[in-house]
Structure 1
Amino acid sequence: MKMTGRCWMTALGLTLMTAACAAEDAAQSDKPTEEIIEIRRDRTPVTEFTPTELEARIDDLVKAINQSGLKPIEMVVLLKHLSTFFEPIATGANRAMGELEAVGNVLGPSTQMTTDDGTASQNLQNQQIANAIEDGVQGLGISPYDVLNEPSVKEAVKQKLHVVTFDTDLKDSGRTLYVGAIQKEAGAKAAQALLDSKIKDDEIPALPPPPGTILVHGDASTQWYDGSQRTFGVLDVLGQTGYTAQVVQAVFINGQEGYDVDQLKTQILNANPPVVGMIGVFNISYRCVMAAEDTGRLDIPIVTFDFDPKTVEYMQKKRIKATVVQRQYYEGYLVPYILYGIQHIGLEATKQILGPLMVDEKGMPDEHRVNIGVDVVPANKFQAYNDFLDQIGSIQ
């Protein structure tokens, strides 16, 4: 394995998330890499939220790898950033790399970069991918921004580097596998949660029967494939009801939260028929609550996405009916194990073990995506879910 001595530090304030640099001298020496006796996983607590099928597949992968004559491999996992939403991903990836005794790092800016020019974050990831290729790593995990990262991923694949995407996919890049939620399915579950009369709390308004408008705080453009797929999943379900679905474009630009909330407020005040429900499909979807409160519409049931601290706060106040949570910790945890499995037992054997998880939104086999699912957390269980995340070190 080739190491350049950079130890992955750059002038861009990247945070080094593992102790891999301590192993740099050993990696640069001519001595053969010492074999690992056996991989031993840290056990995940069993609760109503523990994904038992996913845990079983990881256990099976570990068993197969343990029979392969283990040697550490060099890998790098690239995150959009290391704060808020991505903190649990970093936790999972670091834990897995520690269990595997893998050489490498989990990298990303310490906080979300300002992306007003639209290219700063993508350019950073492209440089990180180039570094990975130069350093001769054997596996690369990446949460890419968009198609501006696609040429770099294609170059990594051309150099025989196995690439696993997570959180966001680049399906046309030649990547080996994607790990995460199937976004259209996740969006559909958000819509079903709003419609489900069995998910109820006496302190939260119920969705009245149609007619009525349901605002969808999402992204229906095709420029962001995953974002639009999640939004379309919501629209597909609502299209089978008597409600009118209206998409309000979510705005992520730094400093634009007020503008985003104002857009939602305008639609609440002017929609015809009147707004009777709201669904937000991104981690900023707590803004739906802010808009409803600002217009005095406390009667609107709201379903959100993810487990942002502000979302948790509003759930505690009984302002959110349910939230759909991506399993970020498991995204980060599974990627190093997949990269390690590909190297030790081969891609096909790894995919065979993960087979029960490799299905699309219709439950059909999917050769390139590992569907780790989502958690639908109703308001009356937010504390239990928060406790589960705390147990696995996954609070963001």
Structure 2
Amino acid sequence: MTTIGRCWMAALGLMMTTAACGSSDTPGAGTKAALIDRAPTPKNEFTPVEIETTLDNLIAKVNEGTVEPMQMVVLLKNLNTYFAPIATGANRAMGELEVTGNVLGPTDQSTDPTTSQDIQNQQIQQAVADGAEGIGISPYGDFNGAAMDDAVAKGVHVVTFDGDVPTSKRSFYVGTLNKSAGATAGKTLLAMLPPPPGTVLIHGTFGAVWMDGYNRTQGAREVIEAAGYVPLVSEAVYHADEAFDVDSMKSRIEAADPPVIGMVGLFDISYRCVMGADAAGIPDVPIVAFDFNPKTVEYMRQGRIKATHTQRQYYQGYLVPYILYGIRTIGLDGTKEILAPLMDGGSTVNTGISTVPSDKIDAYNDFLDMIGATQ
């Protein structure tokens, strides 16, 4: 474990570090590191070829110049479940780059959100104090904006992933384009529906407090409405009892006019759409989901969920250290030029999503096994 890891473990008992592979001894100033030699990723139908090609191009450009040691840290909201593949990708990239640093995140799911936000701000400050030259962070929105901007003001480049603070001075956001992802999920469902009229229930979110979820919901709403159906949002309630969420869907389905003819879930808990359909007495309604929750997979194998849409968490984690290293070695503009095939706008790196039909579960699992990111 590096010095940074020891400091944070002592000061922040809620956190666990997963040290990156490679030496924890920082080479002396001016020491040239070995050229980056990334093992090729085996090909699979779910391999994001454009991301892989862009990474290879970035490495080739970096290797043209002076490859030097670097210190960085990657901060996650959690090291478990959804975030586990992100941790895997970040650790692998940091090992390949032979940088000094850690991937950090809480393991206690019960930690109060406000406490988690405060801890993350402390981590940013500690990283800067300990000499980090780059910080990757899955932020809690604007709560972390000031700490991020302070790091940037002190010469530390910051890259966000999974979630973003677009008003901050971060260099890049790496992750899913949520409005586009919601639209993709909506289009997957549309191919399974009878002609209008009909209502489509969206297990999403009403409010713009959580902008990522709201944008994903809006993307689905717009394509469903444009196709002539009535979109009906049922709030996905993470922190309530599961029965509360199911009852809410049931009441909306029963009151819908015209009747509900399809359902789309937009978050990790979208397997609950099956439970809502059963409660409302429409078990045969087509359902598509989001993410790769084990319960979602179970319903897919039963034929209840027709397809799901997975975010590329592993590649979010894998890209961030390479991007930070690129900024350090070839500059922000040079890195942006190489990342152009993945860019949406001036600072967003789109990792995209994968559509996984129910008859492709085993192929997708093979892909996850191949990259070591089984969820």
**Equivalent residue for 1:126?**
121
How many angstroms apart in 2 are the aligned matches of 1:239 and 1:16?
46
CA contact (8 A) 1:140 1:339 kept: yes
2:59 is the alignment partner of 1:62 = yes
**Equivalent residue for 1:11?**
12
CA contact (8 A) 1:20 1:104 kept: no
CA contact (8 A) 1:73 1:103 kept: yes
Whichever residue aligns with residue 93 of structure 2, its letter is: A
The counterpart of 1:53, out of the listed 32, 50, 53, is 50
User: Relative to 1, partners in 2 of residues 1:337 and 1:22: Cα closer, same or farther, differing over 3 Å?
Assistant: closer
Whichever residue aligns with residue 68 of structure 2, its letter is: K
User: Relative to 1, partners in 2 of residues 1:69 and 1:22: Cα closer, same or farther, differing over 3 Å?
Assistant: closer
**Equivalent residue for 2:336?**
351
CA contact (8 A) 1:80 1:112 kept: no
Equivalent position SS for 2:226: coil
User: Relative to 1, partners in 2 of residues 1:307 and 1:141: Cα closer, same or farther, differing over 3 Å?
Assistant: same
Whichever residue aligns with residue 264 of structure 1, its letter is: M
User: Deviation at 1:3?
Assistant: 5.7
CA contact (8 A) 1:213 1:272 kept: yes
Structure 2 unmatched ranges of 5 or more: none
**Equivalent residue for 2:302?**
317
2:363 is the alignment partner of 1:384 = yes
Aligned residues: 373
**Within-5 A mapping of 1:60-99:** 60-99=57-96
**Equivalent residue for 1:203?**
none
Query: Residue deviations 1:357-378, cap 9 Å, x none?
Result: 112xxxxxx1110111110111
Query: Residue deviations 1:258-291, cap 9 Å, x none?
Result: 2122211221222222111111111111111122
**Equivalent residue for 1:212?**
198
**Equivalent residue for 2:372?**
393
Structure 1's consecutive aligned runs of 4 or more residues displaced over 3 angstroms after TM superposition are: 2-7, 19-22, 31-34
**Equivalent residue for 1:240?**
226
User: Deviation at 1:33?
Assistant: 6.3
2:36 is the alignment partner of 1:39 = yes
Equivalent position SS for 1:351: helix
Whichever residue aligns with residue 353 of structure 2, its letter is: V
Whichever residue aligns with residue 211 of structure 2, its letter is: Y
How many angstroms apart in 2 are the aligned matches of 1:13 and 1:229?
32
**Within-5 A mapping of 1:213-292:** 213-253=199-239, 256-292=241-277
Equivalent position SS for 1:38: coil
How many angstroms apart in 2 are the aligned matches of 1:349 and 1:19?
26
User: Deviation at 1:111?
Assistant: 4.1
CA contact (8 A) 1:289 1:302 kept: yes
Equivalent position SS for 1:283: coil
How many angstroms apart in 2 are the aligned matches of 1:264 and 1:376?
24
How many angstroms apart in 2 are the aligned matches of 1:177 and 1:107?
20
The counterpart of 2:183, out of the listed 188, 194, 197, is 188
User: Deviation at 1:114?
Assistant: 4.0
User: Deviation at 1:21?
Assistant: 10
Query: Residue deviations 1:161-212, cap 9 Å, x none?
Result: 111001111100111100111111111100000012xxxxxxxxx4222211
Structure 1 unmatched ranges of 5 or more: 197-205, 360-365
Q: Percent identity?
A: 53
Query: Residue deviations 1:113-145, cap 9 Å, x none?
Result: 444xx5122122111111112112000001112
The counterpart of 1:367, out of the listed 346, 350, 360, is 346
User: Relative to 1, partners in 2 of residues 1:22 and 1:66: Cα closer, same or farther, differing over 3 Å?
Assistant: closer
User: Deviation at 1:326?
Assistant: 0.6
Equivalent position SS for 1:119: helix
The counterpart of 1:149, out of the listed 121, 144, 157, is 144
The counterpart of 2:160, out of the listed 138, 157, 165, is 165
Please, what TM-score do these two structures have when normalized by structure 1?
0.90
User: Is the deviation greater in 14-23 or in 75-84?
Assistant: 14-23
**Equivalent residue for 2:288?**
303
User: Relative to 1, partners in 2 of residues 1:213 and 1:185: Cα closer, same or farther, differing over 3 Å?
Assistant: same
Cα RMSD between the aligned structures?
1.9
User: Is the deviation greater in 13-22 or in 301-310?
Assistant: 13-22
More helix by share: 2
How many angstroms apart in 1 are the aligned matches of 2:17 and 2:173?
24
How many angstroms apart in 1 are the aligned matches of 2:94 and 2:20?
10
Please, what TM-score do these two structures have when normalized by structure 2?
0.95
**Equivalent residue for 1:341?**
326
How many angstroms apart in 2 are the aligned matches of 1:265 and 1:213?
14
How many angstroms apart in 1 are the aligned matches of 2:43 and 2:23?
34
User: Relative to 1, partners in 2 of residues 1:114 and 1:3: Cα closer, same or farther, differing over 3 Å?
Assistant: closer
